[in-house]
Amino acid sequence: MAVEGEKIARRLDAWPETADVQHLPNRFDPVDPSTAGRADIVSFNRGRWIVRGSAKTQFSYLMFFEPRTVAAGEYFFATGRLDEGGLSFGLQANEQWVGLVNVTTPGPFAVVLKPDAGRYNLVLANNVTTTRGYLFQRYGVLALWKILTGGILRNSFEIDRAGWTTSSSIPRVGP
């Protein structure tokens, strides 16, 4: 895992794709997960957001935060590890999606959402594209049990850091 101010040592997904963020911020305003509406499969432990279990639907909301005013140059970032399933970080304005990043490849990840100044709701949602073929490949005959019991939309990931910051919180590299 990268250390603060160090180059990001994990896959980075950003919205918009032109967002130029190469380092973890030195300072950030952590997002308080207890202020969000959340699904039953979401828990918190020592500052980590933990999702383990079967999603209700393929793209159902896991966490939905109250609106936040975002200043020019301010952006959201999160780091974590996806083990199974998938997730989406998104921003909504006036109940419309304005930015979205999907994380579907297992392993460590970093996400950046860098909107224009405005008022946004931060949303964390499932992005589980599990197929029956994948279940049989991964679980063999146990896949039948998973299909019969509704366990086909399994999601497993942790978010270890999530917050809002500005470009001025990123250390300069070079002379």
Nearest to 166 by CA among 80, 73, 78: 73
Query: Where are the chain's structural domains?
Result: 11-165
Residue 125: its pLDDT value, please? Answer: 93
132 — pLDDT class (breaks 50, 70, 90): low
3 — pLDDT class (breaks 50, 70, 90): very low
Please state, in angstroms and rounded to a whole number, the distance separating the CA atoms of residues 92 and 106: 26
Q: Determine what percent of the chain is predicted with pLDDT higher than 90.
A: 51
131 — pLDDT class (breaks 50, 70, 90): low
31 — pLDDT class (breaks 50, 70, 90): very high
Please check whether residue 128 is in contact with residue 104, taking contact to mean a CB–CB distance below 8 angstroms: no
- CATH number for the region 11-165 comes to 2.60.120
Please check whether residue 89 is in contact with residue 78, taking contact to mean a CB–CB distance below 8 angstroms: yes
Residue 137: its pLDDT value, please? Answer: 67
Indicate the average pLDDT of the chain. Answer: 81
Please check whether residue 9 is in contact with residue 2, taking contact to mean a CB–CB distance below 8 angstroms: yes
Mean pLDDT calculated for residue range 19-32: 80
Instruction: State the pTM of this model.
Output: 0.78
170 — pLDDT class (breaks 50, 70, 90): very low
Q: Report the DSSP pairing between strands 74-84 and 107-113.
A: antiparallel
Residue 40: its pLDDT value, please? Answer: 92
pLDDT at 169 over 90: no
pLDDT at 136 over 70: no
Q: What is the pLDDT of residues 75-97, one digit of tens each?
A: 999 999 999 889 999 999 998 99
143 — pLDDT class (breaks 50, 70, 90): low
